Structure 1
Amino acid sequence: MLPTGIHFGTYAGEAKILKTRRAGLWAAALVAGLIALPLASGPYLLGVMTHMFITLMAVYGLYVTVGMAGQINIAQSAFVGIGAFTAAKLSGYGLPVWVIVPAAALVTGAISVLFALPAARVKGFYLALTTLAAQVMFPIVILALPMDWLGGLVGLSVEPVRLGGLTLTTPLHYYYFTLVLAAVLTVAAFNLQRSRFGRSLMAVRDNDVVAEVMGIPVFRTKILAFFAGSLFAGVAGACTAYVLQFVTVSSFTLFASVWYLGMLIVGGAHSALGAVLGVVFITLVQEGLHGVANKVVQAGAATSGGMLFALTSIALGGCILIALIFEPRGLAHRWHVLRTAFQLWPFPRS
């Protein structure tokens, strides 16, 4: 639904992400605000925002695999871990960051194809089990390999990012580093649905039999969906490695994979905007609950504060249940409803 007077003469114009000048101004204001945010924030907020950018990259990958292609994936944390270990290993050879990050994405995508081959033949519950196998095998393989390969139980240290003569060491440096990569992946995620490949993914999601009749190679499309989604996870893993400066298998658990999927459900699985809204909403709730728990601990009630920290996961799980019951299409759908009502006001909707 567009405001009166806004119309398009071509499909390309109608398919644009930012359809009006006002939308472009709002997007520019958002970018300017994110660039200027460090001027009015401390290291804690910069750390939270950096973590949120990395999480958003991983959830974008789930949006491609789950939201666009309809392929259940509960192993995204394992794919993020593959990208992190790849970046950590390559950083030890002195390679530049502009080589390491794409290499981490490609390695992650290539490994995801090994699990996509059987997953492309099954659906539903069996597909979930197939991806779960990837999550379970990830720490087993890392720990089984010789320690001089990927560090085993100890893990791997990561060399800091060097851009020309600048070495990234401060929270401010990593904030801008992850902001740039998140912006690039945001443009890719929002424009993917406009591409031929994106339309193939959505056709397979809606009805793979009809899609095959229309000439879409369903098997290849499902495999490419896992590959494309894992590219995002690989970049997120490389950023995780650089920010933490150390990677271990304990950082990439099934619990993290479930939360990635939960963020996408809360935001809306069928929209890139849903990935953004889900990550922002869950992060705000999580940090808000942690802030309350910290205040309680500082006030002297250590036992109550510890209980609040433990209840954080329960509260976040409740958010997912509420989203599934009352708004199964996610926050993105609610946003579109409110925006349409604003654009049509004061005229009634038919």
Structure 2
Amino acid sequence: MLPTGIHFESYAAETRVLKTLRSRIWASALALGLLCAPLFAGAYLLGVASEMFITLMAVYGLYVTVGMAGQINIAQSAFVGIGAFAAAKLSSYGQPVFVVIPLAALAAGCVSILFALPAVRVKGLYLALTTLAAQAMFPIVIYALPASWLGGLAGMPVEPLTLFGADLGTPTGFYYFTLALVALLTISAFRLQHSRFGRAMMAVRDNDIAAEVMGIPVMRVKLMAFFVGSLFAGVAGACLAYFLQFVTAASFTLFASVWYLGMLIVGGLHSRLGPILGVVFITVLQEGLHKVANTLMQAGSGSGGMLFALTSIILGGCILLALIFEPRGLAHRWAVLRNAFQIWPFPRN
């Protein structure tokens, strides 16, 4: 719902992300706040924000594959890992970051095609099992390859992040680096919905038989949905490799894939705002619980360690509550509040 008097004279204007002056002002204020954050935040908060941006990149990939195309993917962590190992290997050859990140994204996308081929013939639980096979095979392949290739059990170090001679390994430098990348991927994800490919994915998601009758190449769209979603994961993996400075297969588990999917569900599976709201909500809640647990442990209370152990259970409960009480996610609740604000003080009926 838009304010009274807003109308569009072209499809390009209607599909614009920021349709009103008010939305542009709020978006500008948010961008300004993010740019000025290092002036007020410490190294810890900048590190949390950088990790949140990396997670958001991976969840954007799930939004494309699951939210837009309707293809269940519980192997996103494996594709993030492929991007991370590709970045580690390329950085060891002295490749610059603007070469490493696109090639890491391409590596994750190409590998995803191998597992997407059987996925185009199955749906539902069988599709989930297909992607689960990708997640299970990832560490097996890494460990089976010669240690000189991808480090084997020990893992691989990653060269420090530099760009044109500037050191971006500091908390502030890495924050701005991930902020620039996540802003680029946010624009791409938001614009994708109104593209021809995005409309084709949503048609396949809603009814693949009807989409095929309309002339949409369903098999190609499903393959491309996995490929594009894994491109986002590859970028996230490369950034995570630079963030951790060391990559091992043990860092990219099924547990991480489930959390990526859970963040998307909490935020809103089919909404462009879903990945942002889900990642921010889960990250803030997790860091808040850890902060409380640390405070309790420093005070000598034994309940702090218990709270640490219960963090995953509490976060899992949030996902269950979202599925029960708000299956359309926080994005739908935000839309309801926004519409109520726009028509205030007039009644809804």
Partner of 1:48: 48
TM-score, length of structure 2 as denominator length: 0.99
Shift in Å at residue 107 of structure 1? 0.6
The amino acid that maps onto 1:323 is A
Partner of 2:89: 89
Q: Distance in 2 between matches of 1:174 and 1:183?
A: 14
The amino acid that maps onto 2:5 is G
Q: Say whether 1:12 aligns with 2:8.
A: no
Shift in Å at residue 5 of structure 1? 1.2
Q: Say whether 1:333 aligns with 2:332.
A: yes
The amino acid that maps onto 2:276 is V
Partner of 1:192: 192
Instruction: Map Cα deviations across residues 10-43 of structure 1 (whole Å, 9 max, x no partner).
Output: 2221111100011111111111100100100101
Partner of 1:203: 203
Q: Distance in 1 between matches of 2:76 and 2:54?
A: 13
TM-score, length of structure 1 as denominator length: 0.99
The amino acid that maps onto 2:203 is A
The amino acid that maps onto 1:133 is A
Q: Distance in 2 between matches of 1:35 and 1:250?
A: 34
SS at match of 1:272: coil
Q: Contact 2:101–2:238 (CA<8 Å) still a contact in 1? A: yes
Instruction: Map Cα deviations across residues 271-314 of structure 1 (whole Å, 9 max, x no partner).
Output: 1201000000000110010001000100012x321110010001
Partner of 2:317: 318
Identity rate of aligned residues, in percent? 74
Instruction: Map Cα deviations across residues 174-203 of structure 1 (whole Å, 9 max, x no partner).
Output: 111111100000000011001000000000
* 95-104 or 166-175, which deviates more: 166-175
Q: Distance in 1 between matches of 2:185 and 2:57?
A: 7
Partner of 1:72: 72
The amino acid that maps onto 2:234 is G
Partner of 1:110: 110
Q: Distance in 1 between matches of 2:163 and 2:287?
A: 31
Partner of 1:278: 278
Q: Distance in 2 between matches of 1:128 and 1:59?
A: 17
Shift in Å at residue 322 of structure 1? 0.7
Displaced runs of 4 or more, over 6 A? none
Query: Structure 2 unaligned runs (5+)?
Result: none
Shift in Å at residue 169 of structure 1? 2.2
The RMSD of aligned alpha carbons is: 0.7
Q: Say whether 1:155 aligns with 2:159.
A: no
Q: How many residues matched?
A: 349
Instruction: Map Cα deviations across residues 313-336 of structure 1 (whole Å, 9 max, x no partner).
Output: 010001001100110000001111
Q: Distance in 1 between matches of 2:11 and 2:233?
A: 31
Q: Contact 2:162–2:169 (CA<8 Å) still a contact in 1? A: no
Q: Contact 2:203–2:211 (CA<8 Å) still a contact in 1? A: yes
Q: Distance in 1 between matches of 2:206 and 2:168?
A: 44
Q: Distance in 1 between matches of 2:97 and 2:272?
A: 27
The amino acid that maps onto 2:60 is Y
The amino acid that maps onto 1:141 is V
Instruction: Map Cα deviations across residues 81-138 of structure 1 (whole Å, 9 max, x no partner).
Output: 0000000000011111100000000010000000000011100000000000000000
